[in-house]
Amino acid sequence: MLSYIIFGLCTCVAYTQDISWTWLSGKAVANEPVSKDQPGGRSGAAFWQQKDKQALWLFGGETPVGHDQPSVKNDLWRFSHGQWSLVNDGQSPDAPPGRQLAAACGLDDSFFVLFGGLGNNPQAQGEKVEDQDLLGDTWIFGLENNKWYTLEEFQKTEGAAFVNGSVPEARGDMAFWCQPGDTMSIFGGFGKNKTLYHDLWTFDLKTLKWEESTLSVSIPDNSKFASHLEYPTARSGSTTWIVGKRLFLWGGNILPTNFRKKHLMIGNTGDLWEYNQTSDTWAYRLGPRIACTTPGKYGEQGTADAENMPGCRRRAAAWVDIHGNLWMFGGDGVDDSQESVSVFKHSKLLSDVWHFDTVTFLWTWKGGSQQGEQKGVFGDIGQHSSDAHPGSRCEPVVWDSSVYNDEERRERKYFYIFGGVGHDLNGHDGYLNDVWMFDTNMDTSVLRNAPYAGPSI
């Protein structure tokens, strides 16, 4: 069985929506192996969108290798103009170790940055995050010479002496944000001694140095005490997006014993936080600050309401439009059919679509099923269909239409999704390698606001 076990049978529910999906490439069935021209099924890959070259970079992730022992990769892929190309197969001695759920950003036309993540561990039993699974290294991939460097090596190539300053502790499944040409920020994640972190660090893409925020340094390590402060609880797997200097963080897992591979709902939350980089302050906005104990509140499709609230979840796909509004798909969490949360129940993989307005602070259910564990409906590849939609999933890769030089796509500003772990055409669970285009242009609020698509991280 897969390390990420998906429970329950597929319950297929018909629904209508003002959004639509188109299957573009990849397979309709799970666990497709890697080939010379496509990455194969995988989840939790690190990714960064290089907008100046209309390209997406993808590193590693968890893949199936047979029976019950999946593995993590260290290959590097480039997606541009609808085609995958293998840039580095990871076999050279200077390549980073394989990993999943790492943080990644980059500096256009210069380099790709990779930090941390969860690595392979032959001794792990599949239900724990062991210390030796955790990575705390920073790697740089030079885009001009297609070469990997450790942070120390790259600092020397830039003519700067290596500074052995403070760096984040090893971790994986952390929240992170990319500010193009500026910084990469990370928050929390699974850490050593089977704990969750709640520190905030920033990596300057120009000085190549890490620095912990002053507020973060002052927050006590005791997470129970810290939970009473105007500061997010320690967590992993949150959804993030950026509006100017404002960093938004929503949901995730806040229970240290709710390891990723357990697939439980008992630690997922749905609180929204906003971090102001200028003032170095956090502000709590809405949602439950404790683990969710109620189903999602969907309301009327397409209608914003203060009562609406997605079921608590982690590792959803997310995009942000030019107005800073969030578009969120799927994840691992709670749908609308569960009356309570307990240690005896498993979370569900989701396929619903939500919109969050950062001006009104209102959620709107835009489409997708209210019930989890949905199989994918594919139709004909490349052909639009009002019935088609991806299967329920979490931990995918996302990007926007700026990776295409197709004028019509760039004008309409579509969103895109690749892979993750979830349900395929037959409702079977596994690692996916399908590419989907997400079209919000028929939505009346989108037409009114004329959004510009962009990945949330």
Confidence at residue 137, expressed as pLDDT on a 0 to 100 scale: 96
Whether 164 shows a pLDDT value over 90: the answer reads no
Domain assignment present for 14: no
pTM: 0.89
State yes or no: pLDDT of 124 exceeds 50: no
Encode pLDDT of 55-114 as tens digits. Answer: 999 999 999 876 557 889 999 999 998 899 999 999 989 999 999 999 999 998 899 999
pLDDT value of position 398:
95
pLDDT of residue 412: 59
Q: Domain with 415 in it: what CATH number?
A: 2.120.10.80
Residue 102 lies in a domain: yes
Domain of 345 in residue numbering reads as: 20-455
In whole angstroms, give the CA distance from residue 457 to residue 318: 8
User: Would you call 42 exposed, middle or buried from its count of C-beta atoms within 10 A (0-12, 13-18, 19+)?
Assistant: buried
Distance CA 97, CA 118 (A): 10
Is residue 358 a part of any domain in this protein? yes
The percent of residues above 90 in pLDDT, for the chain, comes to 60
Q: Which residue has the higher pLDDT, 164 or 327?
A: 327
pLDDT of res. 443 = 67
Tell me the CA distances in angstroms from 407 to 23, 62, 108, 175, 414, one per residue in order.
19, 34, 22, 33, 12
Q: Do 427 and 16 touch, CB atoms closer than 8 A?
A: no
Does some domain include residue 11?
A: no
State how far the Cα of 111 lies from the Cα of 386, in Å rounded to an integer.
40
Confidence of residue 154 (pLDDT cuts 50, 70, 90): very high
Q: How many CA atoms lie within 13 A of 12 on its CB side?
A: 13
pLDDT attached to residue 449: 47
Give the span between the Cα atoms of 171 and 168, in whole angstroms. 8
Q: Residue 305: what pLDDT?
A: 95
Q: What Rg value do the Cα atoms of the chain yield, rounded?
A: 20
The answer to whether residue 191 sits within a structural domain is: yes
Mean pLDDT over 248-253 rounds to 96
Residue 9 lies in a domain: no
pLDDT tens by residue, 320-363: 876 778 999 999 998 887 665 565 678 899 999 999 999 999 99
Per-residue pLDDT at 440: 81
Judged by average pLDDT, the poorest of 142-151, 155-164, 188-197, 294-303 is: 155-164
Per the domain annotation, does 12 fall within a domain? no
Q: How far apart are CA 389 and CA 154, in angstroms?
A: 43
Which among 13-27, 139-153, 440-454 has the top mean pLDDT? 139-153
The answer to whether residue 113 is domain-embedded is yes
Q: What is the pLDDT of residue 58?
A: 98
Give the separation between CA 236 and CA 22, rounded to whole angstroms. Answer: 31
**Residue 384 pLDDT > 50:** yes
Any bridge partners for residue 297, and if so which?
309
Residue 134 predicted with pLDDT over 70: yes
In SS3 terms, the chain reads as CCCCCCCCCCCCCCCCCCCEEEEEECCCCCCCCCECCECCCCECCEEEEEHHHCEEEEEEEEECCCCCCCEEEEEEEEEECCEEEEEECCCCCCCCCCCECCEEEEECCCEEEEEEEECCCCCCCCCCCCHHHEEEEEEEEECCCCEEEEHHHHHHHCCCCCCCCCCCCCEECCEEEEECCCEEEEEEEEEHHHEEEEEEEEEECCCCEEEECHHHHHCCCCHHHHCCCCCCCCCECCEEEEECCEEEEEEEECCCCCCHHHCECCCEEEEEEEEECCCCEEEEEECCCCCCCCCCECCCCCCCECCCECCCEECCEEEECCCCCEEEEEEEECCCCCCCCCCCCECEEEEEEEEEECCCCEEEEEECCCCCCCCCECCCCCCCECCCECCCEECCEEEEHHHCCCHHHHHHCCEEEEEEEEECCCCCEEEEEEEEEEECCCCHHHHHHCCCCEECC
Considering 65-74, 286-295, 384-393, the range whose residues carry the highest mean pLDDT is: 384-393
Question: Lowest-pLDDT range, 210-214, 432-436, 452-456?
Answer: 452-456
pLDDT digits (tens, 9 = 90+) for 265-277: 788 999 999 999 9
**Total structural domains within the chain:** 1
Name the residue with higher pLDDT: 8 or 97.
97
